[in-house]
A and B are shown apart, each in its own frame.
Chain A
Amino acid sequence: MGDLKLCCLGLSHKTAPVSVREKFAFKGEGLEEALLKLNSMEGVDECMILSTCNRVEIYFTSRSANPFKDPISFLQEVKGATLDELNSFFYRKVDRDAVRHGFYVASSLDSLVVGEPQIVGQFKDAFFTAKELGTVGTVLCRFCETALKVSKRVRTETGISKNAVSISFAAVELAKKIFGDLRGTKVAIVGAGEMAELAVKHLITNGASDVFVVNRTLERARALAEEFGGKPYPLTELASVLKLSDIVISSTGAPGYVITKDLVEGALKSRGGRPIFLIDIAVPRDIEPEVDSLDGVYLYDIDDLQQVVEANIKERLREAEVAKEIIEDYVERFIKWMRELEIAPLIAELKQKAEEIRREVLEKRLHKLNLTPEQEAEVENITRIIINKLLHQPITSVKKKAVEESQNQVVQIFREIFGLGKE
């Protein structure tokens, strides 16, 4: 029997195209059946399968010298995987690498969008499914619970999930940087487009109270306004709408500028110093670029919003570095726990053996000495103390060595020195 190993066999958006990911995905009952089948294989002790649209990963523990043999034949059998696919798309990770990878995945460091929140839920589901079916035991349970704990710490202690990574959310984030709380802010939507509608919906969810819909045709304005619970206006009333609005999203199909510098300047005068945030997502642009030179006006076009998204992604990656430091600490602790878990039966065996020798010798010799009961008790104590003191150092050393080095070798030497595990 070899050492206990925690392994991961999987593929993700980083290694495989969507067509391959689709092929290997496990869903619903298929997942449960697959888990039970995998768990019944000889080389697999505990297992769980994480299957999302971006990754399929099998986490398992094994004592086999070639731990991946069974999971690979499982994939060949269940999913019809070819050797070529297994070699080019799947990664194999063992022990420290597998633990680290699992923690990265649960903390969303390995996701397509770093910091996205869905993966924690998916990881939790994968764990609970496996737990219900009884395919996870001490090691994988502890691994998953630690992964979920790490992921929570990473989310609360780093800014990895902050900062919007989509254009429409970036617009909301910018509005928040200007106005703070969006409760009570008034939003105007000029023209209509899918992205503009989406941005307005996000703004409403974040507290924006009034929505004004301005359109060339009042009919269309009415239809949209109904959707948002807002008020419709014809394009001719744009000037008065601008005076009322804090956030203006423009996406008309007009060939020229719809919102000019004069128009905004006029609106600013009656706003009592309150700033105005203009988002131009039309191509060609709707808002005259010179508007940006006005004080208290923040004009962002589609490229600027894209820039915000890029900056936010960079910021998330920066935070991911902090997250990695947190995770590394947990990886080390987990590996230490696993090694100690592995060495525990050996230590128990040694202690038992020492106790047996002690008892045997005492039983043979003690009665020859004609000691009083008090003296016998004292001899019992002395021998126990000697054994404990003698064993303390080798036990501490083997625990330490088992964490540091290749465990198999250390355990082997330890067994040989003390003659353990022999009949």
Chain B
Amino acid sequence: MEPKAFIYTSAVLYGVSAFHYLLYLLFRKEKLAVVGLYSARFGFLTNLFGLLLEVFNGGTVTLFTPKGAFLIFSLTLVSVFLYFSTKHKLSLSGAFLMPWATLFSILSCVSSGAPKTELPVGIVGVVHIVSAFFGYSAFMFSAILSVIYLIFERHLKRKKFSIFFFKLPSLTKLESIIYTSITVGFVFITISMFVGAVWSEELFGTYWSWHPKQVATLISWFTYAGIIHLYLYGNWKGKRICYLSILGFSIILLNFLGVNLLSKKDVHSFKG
């Protein structure tokens, strides 16, 4: 079976979901959010099948291609979104998050699925890659929620009673979801780092080799460790945790863009 059909379908479904969530933002009709949610759920399933078929047809090495990476990114992002939005009734976040999931799944449609070098990925590699993307997705979700928090807070200050006022939980609740999402991301990124070191030892005979990706990830890890520390012990709460979360995600983005998309030499690079 060809994974192509599933990958294209998930891009379309995510697009439908994003479109409905954006309309929900404009018109506040609950039905729109329901369509958004169900399209995201079905998109998640086709995304998962697409990814599994890719791996089944081409082996785990396909995860190490741009196509595989974007497939995992959209899948993990939507799974984080579905988890939090269902648990905390955060339909509104769909308008901010699903366009990104759509973008990533479109990128997976147009990206190359041919591996640059045949690396023995194995279980260790799969855990490393998948947990890294779960980490990125959780951080991205916390950054998106931080933007929503900042808008909502501003509206409360300015006495503006918009959809943010009517359809969001309290500021305190949002803050706690942002923090939870950050800790979830931190756990995954930590797992990814450790497993990555083990994998590096298997492949290159060394746990740590100061590769740009390793350095960038270490910086991200320290940044988030700092954010969690400041939140717990430095009372950096409310708007401050939001700014920090956005800052943290910009570092992740630089890490991803800089190393995976722009650098040519590194093993993580998508350029051949």
Contacts and interface: CB of A to CB of B under 8 A. Distances in A.
Interface string A136-168: 000000000000000000000111000100000
B30 A178 contact: no
Interface residues of A, number: 28
A296 B238 contact: yes
Given A163-B166, A177-B170, A307 B161 contact: yes
Interface string A267-281: 000001111000000
Contacts of B237: 272-274
A322 interface: yes
A159 B157 CA distance: 24
B171 A178 contact: yes
10 A-B pairs with the lowest CB-CB distances in the bound complex, closest first: A180-B170, A311-B161, A273-B237, A273-B235, A180-B172, A272-B235, A180-B173, A304-B159, A179-B172, A177-B170
B159 A315 contact: no
Contacts of A295: 238-239
B161 A298 contact: no
Interface centre among A275, A292, A304, A312 (most CB of B within 10 A): A275
B165 interface: yes
A275 B238 contact: yes
Classify chain B: how many residues form its interface, as a range: 20 to 34
A176 interface: yes
A298 B239 CA distance: 13
B211 interface: no
Interface string B20-35: 0000000011100000
Interface string A87-117: 0000000000000000000000000000000
Given A177-B156, A177-B165, A178-B170, A318 B28 contact: yes
A60 interface: no
A159 B166 contact: yes
B169 interface: yes
B46 to A, nearest CB: 29
A188 interface: no
Interface of B: 28-30, 156-157, 159, 161, 165-166, 169-173, 235-240
A308 interface: yes
A298 B156 contact: yes
B49 to A, nearest CB: 33
Given A272-B235, A272-B237, A322-B30, 14 more contacts: A159-B166, A163-B166, A174-B156, A178-B172, A179-B171, A179-B172, A180-B169, A274-B237, A295-B238, A296-B239, A300-B159, A311-B161, A315-B161, A318-B28
A308 B237 CA distance: 26
B156 A315 contact: no
Given A159-B166, A322-B29, A178 B156 contact: yes
B170 A308 contact: no
Contacts of A312: 161
B238 A273 contact: yes
Interface in A289-327: 292, 295-296, 298, 300, 304, 307-308, 311-312, 315, 318, 322
Contacts of A304: 159
A300 B159 CA distance: 8
Contacts of B236: 273
Nearest to A273: B237
